[in-house]
A and B are shown apart, each in its own frame.
Chain A
Amino acid sequence: MEKFQILRTTAIPLPIENIDTDQIIPARFLKATSREGFGENLFRDWRYTSEGTPKADFALNNARYGGQILLAGKNFGCGSSREHAAWALYDAGFKAVISSYFADIFRGNALNTGLLPLQVSDEVLQRLLDQVEQNPQTELVVNLPEQTLTVPAWGESIHFDLDPYKKECLINGYDDIDFLVNQKEAIAAYETTRAWAY
C-alpha cells in the first residue's frame, strides 16, 4: 500500500446521496482476477452511454473539474462489499473521497486500499460542493498526520476523525496482514482455550 501524508489537489463534485458500489463499479466488470485496471470502468454506466461514448453531463467527463478528491453525497459506498469499488477509485487516480457519511464496508475497504474516506459534517460537505461547483480550481489540502482538511480559499482548517491505528497504517503504507500474522502465537493460544470450538 502506498503511503499517504499530505494531499493538495482540486476536487470533483458528485452531489448524489446513497451512491452504491454497483454504480462505482458494476458487477459485470468484476471478472478480473488481479487488482489492476478497474479505473477504466469506474462509474461506467453514469460515465458512458451503452455505446461507450462519454456522457458530457457527468462530472468526471466535465473538463471544468479535475483532481484527486471525489466530493460525494451522504452514505457513499453502500451495497455490495466489493473492494473493487475502492480499487476502481484509486486506479482512476483518486486518493481521497469526502462525504458526510460512508457505508461501513466501503470505509474499511478504502482504508485497506490506501484511499482516504474523509468524513465531514453535512454542512461542511454542502459548503465544499458549493465552493467547488462555483470555482473548480479551488484547492483542498488534506494533512493526514494533523488530521485536517484545509480550504485555503476560506482560510479555514477542519479537523476530521480517523482511528489512530488506521492513520498510522495509511501514513506508513502498512496493512493489517502484517499486524495479524505477528499475532499468530496469541491466536493459536486462544484456540486452545475456547470453551466451545466449532
Chain B
Amino acid sequence: MAQTLFDKIWDAHVVKSFGDLSVVYIDKHLIHEVTSPQAFDELTARGLPLFRKDQMLATADHNVPTRNQHLPIEEPLSRSQVNKLTENCEKFDVELYGLGHERQGIVHVIGPELGLTQPGMTIVCGDSHTSTHGAFGAIAFGIGTSQVAQVMASQCLLISKPKRMRIIVDGELHRGVTAKDLPLYIISKLGTGGATGYFVEYAGSAIRGLSMEGRMTLCNMSIEMGARGGMIAPDETTFAYVEGRPYAPQGERWEQALAYWRTLYSEPDATFDSEYHFDAQDIYPMITYGTNPGMGIALNGLIPTEVSSSEAVSFQNSLKYMGFAPGESLLGKEINYVFIGSCTNSRIEDLRTVASYVKGKHKAQNVEAIIVPGSKQVEQQAIAEGLDKVLAEAGFELREPGCSACLAMNEDKIPAGAYCVSTSNRNFEGRQGPGARTLLASPLVAAITAVEGRIVDITQYLN
C-alpha cells in the first residue's frame, strides 16, 4: 500500500509489534527541568542506567527568570528544580545546555537551531509542544513523565499507531497573514479536540511557501487541536536550514542523509484516515477571544452567538472570564500587555518581523511590551542585527531566553484581569498568571497592537 510520510518514518522505527502496540525506537530525547526529575528518580529507585545517554539533550527553560540570568535564581522552588536538573545531568552524564550556556534556550527552539532536529527522526520530550520538530519531517511528540523514564531506560516507547490526517492549505496568503494565522484558523475550524487520535501532515502550496520558522510555528500548535503531532515533508527549504548546523551530518554523511531525506514524502496515492482542504484566500489575520485556542476569529470578525448545547457552559464561562459578550467585535478593545515569545513565536524571524514594524514607532502608553527570545543564540543574533536597539527605542523590553509568560512559571506573569495579546500557544484560564486574559495572535498582530494600544484591523496599518 502506498505509504504516507508518517508511515515511512514510523515503520523505520518499529522494533517489535504486539497486537495494536509497538515498541518504537526514539532517536532523540530532549529533557527539561519540569518533567524530568521524577523520571530520573524512577531510574534510581529501580537501579536502572540510562540506556542511550548520548541521544539525550537537556536544557533549562520553563522556570528560568528572564532578567539577570547571571545571578542565582531568586525563587527557591524554581532554583531547586533547575539545580536538580544540573545534578541529574551530572550524575547521569547527560549533555546539558543550562542557564548561562551559549546554547541554552527553549527546548523546541534549540533543537532545530543546533541541527539536532533532522528529517526522518523520532523525537520526544516531556512537553506537548514537541510537535514543533515535525516541521522538519520528523515524528515528534510530547510525552508524560512515566514515558520520559521509559525512554531513559530503553530508548523506546510502547505505543499504538495513531491515525493519519492530512491538512492541505493551497493558494496564496493575504498580506498581513503569517504562519501563526494558519493554526489559529485551522483550530478555529476543527476545535481543540478535532485531531485527537491523529498525527497530522500539513501539505499544499501555502505550507510549502513557509520558511522553516513558519513551519515550526504551524507544527507547534498541532497539539492545540488534540493531534499527537504535526509534520511537513522535508524539501529544499528544510535541507538548506539544517545544513552546516552544529549537529547536522557533514561531508559524506550529509550526502547519505540527503539521499534518504529525499525519500520522505507521502506517495501520491497514499490514503489518509481523514483529510481537510483549506483555501489560503479564506484566511485573515486571526485573534482568539476565549479560553481555548479553538476560540479564534479574524481580527475584524465577531464573537459567535451560538454554540452547541453541550458546549454552552464552557462558552459562557469562557466569555465571562474574558469579559467579552457573544456577537461582539474585538476591534477597539484596549490591551494592557503584549508578550512576544514562547516556543511558537520567539525565533529570529519573529523578532525581525516585530522590529521591522515598530522601527521608528513607539508602543502605546497603556501597554507593557515584552519580548523574550527563544534562545541565547536568538538573543545574540538579535543584538548582532541591532534589533535590540530598534526594540528599545520603540519601548519594547528585550529579555533573556526562556518560556516566560507563556505559562508564567517564573515571575513573568500577567496580572489578574489584564488583557495580553500574546504570540504563545495557549489562552487557557490562568495560563499567563491567575486571572490573566490572553488573546493569541501572530507576532505582526502583536507588534501592531502594542503600538496602537488596542485591537485594530491590521490590514490598514501595513505599507
Contact A176 B126, CB 8 Å, known A16-B317, A86-B144: no
Contact B408–A28 (Cβ < 8 Å): yes
Contact A33–B81 (Cβ < 8 Å): yes
Contact B78–A74 (Cβ < 8 Å): no
Contact B313–A183 (Cβ < 8 Å): no
Contact A31–B63 (Cβ < 8 Å): yes
Q: For the complex, what is the distance from the CA of A22 to the CA of B314, rounded to whole Å? A: 15
Q: Which residues of chain A are near B27, meaning CB under 8 Å?
A: 198
Q: Which residues of chain B are near A112, meaning CB under 8 Å?
A: 144, 146-147
> For chain B residues 8-27, which have a beta carbon within 8 Å of chain A?
12, 15-16, 18-21, 23, 25, 27
Q: For the complex, what is the distance from the CA of A194 to the CA of B120, rounded to whole Å? A: 12
Q: Which residues of chain A are near B313, meaning CB under 8 Å?
A: 15-17, 73
Mask for A5-37, Cβ within 8 A of B = 1, else 0?
A: 000000000011110101100111011111100
CB distance from B189 to the nearest CB of A (A): 16
Contact A74–B310 (Cβ < 8 Å): yes
Contact B37–A180 (Cβ < 8 Å): no
Contact A108 B19, CB 8 Å, known A27-B408, A101-B193: no
Q: For the complex, what is the distance from the CA of A126 to the CA of B158, rounded to whole Å? A: 33
Contact A180 B256, CB 8 Å, known A50-B435, A83-B35, A105-B144: no
* Other-chain residue from B19, B80, B158, B223 in contact with A33 (beta carbon distance below 8 A): B80
Contact A196–B192 (Cβ < 8 Å): no
Contact A30–B409 (Cβ < 8 Å): yes
Q: Which residues of chain B are near A153, meaning CB under 8 Å?
A: none
CB distance from A174 to the nearest CB of B (A): 11
Contact B310–A175 (Cβ < 8 Å): no
B375 CB–A CB distance under 8 Å: no
Contact A33 B311, CB 8 Å, known A81-B142, A104-B196: no
Q: For the complex, what is the distance from the CA of A181 to the CA of B50, rounded to whole Å? A: 11
B325 CB–A CB distance under 8 Å: no
Contact A81–B407 (Cβ < 8 Å): no
Contact A74 B193, CB 8 Å, known A83-B144, A179-B158, A181-B48: yes
Contact A104 B310, CB 8 Å, known A28-B408, A79-B428, A198-B27: no
> For chain B residues 148-176, which have a beta carbon within 8 Å of chain A?
149-150, 153-160, 162
Contact A187–B310 (Cβ < 8 Å): no
> For chain A residues 115-170, which have a beta carbon within 8 Å of chain B?
122, 126, 163-165
B56 CB–A CB distance under 8 Å: no
B16 to chain A: closest residue by CB? A186
* Other-chain residue from B20, B63, B292 in contact with A18 (beta carbon distance below 8 A): B292
Contact A108 B144, CB 8 Å, known A27-B407, A195-B12: yes
Contact A75 B15, CB 8 Å, known A20-B428, A27-B407, A196-B256: no
CB distance from A127 to the nearest CB of B (A): 13
Contact A187 B197, CB 8 Å, known A17-B314, A163-B21: no
* Other-chain residue from A32, A45, A186, A187 in contact with B430 (beta carbon distance below 8 A): A45
Contact B16–A81 (Cβ < 8 Å): no
Q: Which residues of chain B are near A176, meaning CB under 8 Å?
A: 146-147, 150, 157-158
Q: Which residues of chain B are near A73, meaning CB under 8 Å?
A: 310, 313-314
* Other-chain residue from A16, A32, A104 in contact with B228 (beta carbon distance below 8 A): A104
Contact B120–A82 (Cβ < 8 Å): no
Q: For the complex, what is the distance from the CA of A75 to the CA of B192, rounded to whole Å? A: 8
B442 CB–A CB distance under 8 Å: no
Q: For the complex, what is the distance from the CA of A165 to the CA of B16, rounded to whole Å? A: 15
B145 to chain A: closest residue by CB? A83
Contact A180–B77 (Cβ < 8 Å): no
B51 CB–A CB distance under 8 Å: yes
CB distance from A132 to the nearest CB of B (A): 16
CB distance from B330 to the nearest CB of A (A): 21
CB distance from B227 to the nearest CB of A (A): 8
CB distance from A145 to the nearest CB of B (A): 18
Q: For the complex, what is the distance from the CA of A65 to the CA of B421, rounded to whole Å? A: 39
Contact B38–A35 (Cβ < 8 Å): yes
Q: Which residues of chain A are near B12, meaning CB under 8 Å?
A: 194-196
Contact A108 B147, CB 8 Å, known A184-B154, A198-B28: yes
A62 CB–B CB distance under 8 Å: no
B260 CB–A CB distance under 8 Å: yes
Q: Which residues of chain B are near A17, meaning CB under 8 Å?
A: 310-311, 313-314
B331 CB–A CB distance under 8 Å: no
Contact A183 B16, CB 8 Å, known A30-B409, A33-B80, A83-B35: yes
Contact A18–B193 (Cβ < 8 Å): yes
Contact B120–A75 (Cβ < 8 Å): no
Q: For the complex, what is the distance from the CA of A191 to the CA of B150, rounded to whole Å? A: 17
Q: Which residues of chain A are near B121, meaning CB under 8 Å?
A: 198
Contact A113–B15 (Cβ < 8 Å): no
Contact A78 B226, CB 8 Å, known A31-B409, A105-B142: yes
* Other-chain residue from B20, B25, B144, B228 in contact with A109 (beta carbon distance below 8 A): B144
* Other-chain residue from B46, B160, B196, B430 in contact with A103 (beta carbon distance below 8 A): B196
Can you list 12 residue pairs at the A/B interface with Cβ under 8 Å?
A: A22-B426, A27-B409, A30-B409, A74-B193, A78-B192, A108-B143, A165-B18, A165-B19, A175-B146, A177-B48, A186-B23, A196-B120
Q: A23-B429, A81-B143, A187-B154 are in contact. List 15 more A-B contacts (CB 8 A).
A: A23-B428, A27-B408, A31-B78, A32-B77, A75-B192, A80-B127, A80-B128, A83-B144, A101-B196, A104-B196, A105-B228, A165-B18, A181-B154, A183-B154, A198-B55
Instruction: For the complex of A and B, list the 10 residue pairs with the smallest distance between their C-beta atoms, beginning with the closest.
Output: A83-B144, A112-B146, A109-B144, A180-B154, A33-B37, A75-B193, A31-B77, A81-B142, A81-B128, A27-B407
